[in-house]
Each structure stands twice: as structure tokens, then as C-alpha cells.
Amino acid sequence: MESLFSLENWFTLLMLFGLLAVLGFDNLLYISLESQRVEESKQQYVRRMGIGLAVVFRIILLFLLIQMIQLFQDPFFSLNIPGFIETDMNLHAFIVLVGGGFIIYTAIQEIFHLISVHDLHGQHADKRKRSVGMTIFWLVAMNLVFSFDSVLSSIALTDQFWVMAVAIILSGVMMIVLSDYVSDFLQRNRMYQVLGLFILLLVGILLLSEGGHLAHLKLFGYEILPMAKSTFYFVLFVMVAVDVVQSQYQKKLLLEREQREKLIEEAMKNQKAAAEPHA
């Protein structure tokens, strides 16, 4: 019992919680954007129920991976056409590839929606025509896709099931709390939704590269290499920095235009006032 609750296990728990918190950022962004597809009065319920169910399924996934880790790693499909495509597909790679492809499809669809609408309010209302149950289903499904790497990392760090389960529960509670703040921020600052969608697009590319690597995929003789996490976070930082600088510069230009219009309006009033006595 003493070894079960040893200092090493508590340190591992803290480290796992930090890992899940960092890896959960893209998942949190997806949850915040996807929840906007339902009525506004039900969005908080959808986010909390989706994350809550995802935590339960994460723990089930953790238990299954511990018991059947080899099943997820062994290839179930092989294809070898030299010079065109080569792969040894396993279940882990397949799930990650499907999840990455779905995220890219969703991001591109929403980006085209944003640039093609003429009536923002009307189109925004149409966009939300998705049932609560279906939205929760997609939140849970994509949460499991996002959690695969973090669960495997947890298994690599410790063999204590309670440590991994507690870390998953704590990260889920944190996501429930933060999801409301992220969603409210995106609702108040809709221009940042564009940034969020392009971040999701980048996440999809990251998952595709990881899935291709896990499947030992080669296209036209070139091996698919996983995108380094350091590269992903650097690109993410640059995207956020560019968007923040651009928004601040846009505000500055708008302020200058308003000041210029006020000066022109005052000059016209003065000119009109100076001409009235002569009339």
C-alpha cells in the first residue's frame, strides 16, 4: 500500500496531468467550435456532457489498451505497390488517420462557410441545425482520437492504473471549466474563429502525419514522417502571434480612420459656420 501511494506515483500523477493539459488544448478548441452547432441555450450542456462522457470512455480505452496493447499495434492490413504506396496498417494508425482526415474536412468546410456567407446571422443560425445527441457523439468520438497518444504516453510512464485514471479525470474537470471560457471568448471575438479553424486544420495535418508514420506509410517512395511536437507548437505560436499583431494593427487603422473622419466632419462644420454670417 505504501508503494502504491509513493512519492514517485504522486510525481508521475502531476507530470501526467501536465501532459494531458498541454495535449488537450487542440481538443478543447474543437469542443468549443463544435458546440456552437447547437442552440445557444444547450451549448454548455453539450460541452459538459461531451467531456464527461469522453472522460469515462478514456478510462475504458485506457483499460483496453493496457489489456490489449499488442492488438492495437499489430498490422491488420498490408499493401505493397513499390514506387506508389506501401503500408502496414494497424488499428492505432487507422483511428488516428480517420480522426485527422475528419478534422481537416471539418476545418475546410467551416472555412469555406465563413468566406462564402452573405448573411452572417442567417447562415450562423443554419449552421447550428445539428441535434444535441449527434454533437455529443462527435465530441466524444474526436476526444477519443485526440486522447490516443496521451493514453499511450501514460502507459509508457507508469504501470499504476489509478495514477493514469486520476490524471484523466483531473484533466477532464479542467477542460469542463476552461471550455466555457474558450467558447465565450470565441463568441465575443468571432474574428478569432478563423484562427481557431486554421489551428484545427494544422492539428488534422499533425494527426495525418502521425497516423501515416504509425502505419509505415510510403507514398511514391517517400516515407511519411510525423510532425515534431516542437514544430507544431512553434507554428501554432507564429499563427497566434501574427493574428494578434494583425488585429491590433487593424484596430489602429480603424482608429486613425475614425479620427480622420471626425477631423473632416469638424472642418466641414467650421466651414459651414463661417459661411452662415455672410449669407
Domain count, the chain: 2
Domain shared by 76 and 150, yes or no: yes
58/73 same-domain check: yes
On whether residue 276 sits in a domain, the answer given is yes
* Structural domain contains residue 2: no
Q: Could you tell me if 12 and 77 lie in one domain?
A: yes
Same domain as 75, residue 15: yes
Question: Does residue 35 fall inside a structural domain?
Answer: yes
Of the residues 208, 227, 246, the one at which a domain ends: 227
240-267, pLDDT tens digit by residue?
Answer: 888 888 888 888 888 888 888 888 888 8
Residue 277 has pLDDT above 80, yes or no: no
In this structure, the answer to whether residues 181 and 143 fall within a common structural domain is yes
Q: What is the pLDDT of residues 186-198, one digit of tens each?
A: 777 767 777 878 8
Question: In a 3-state reduction of DSSP, which class is residue 148?
Answer: helix
Same domain, residue pair 175 and 265 = no
Q: 88 and 201 in one domain?
A: yes
* Kind plus residue range of the DSSP H or E element containing 239: helix 229-275
Do 148 and 44 share a structural domain? yes
Q: For residue range 9-42, what is the model confidence (pLDDT) as tens digits? A: 777 778 777 777 766 777 777 888 788 888 878 8
15 within a domain of the structure (yes/no): yes
Q: What is the distance, to the nearest Å, from the Cα of residue 140 to the centroid of all Cα atoms in its chain? A: 13
Average predicted confidence (pLDDT) for the chain = 79
Q: Which amino acid is at 231?
A: T
Is 18 in the same domain as 101?
Answer: yes
The single-letter code of the amino acid at 125 is: A
Spatial CA neighbour of 193 closest among 37, 58, 20, 81: 37
Q: Is the pLDDT at 271 greater than 60, yes or no?
A: yes
- Whether residue 199 is found in the same domain as residue 237: no
- pLDDT greater at residue 203 or residue 88: 88
List pLDDT tens digits, range 201-211: 888 888 889 88
Structural domain for 250, as ranges: 232-279
- 120: pLDDT strictly greater than 60: no
Mean pLDDT of 82-106: 84
Q: Is residue 1 part of a domain?
A: no
State which H helix or E strand residue 29 sits in: helix 25-34
106 and 162 housed in the same domain: yes
> Rounded CA gap, 102 and 18, in Å?
27
Residues 12, 148: one domain?
A: yes
Is residue 125 over pLDDT 70?
Answer: no
Q: Which residues pair with 89 in a beta bridge?
A: 77
C-alpha–C-alpha distance, residues 90 and 74, integer Å: 6
Q: What is the pLDDT of residue 153?
A: 66
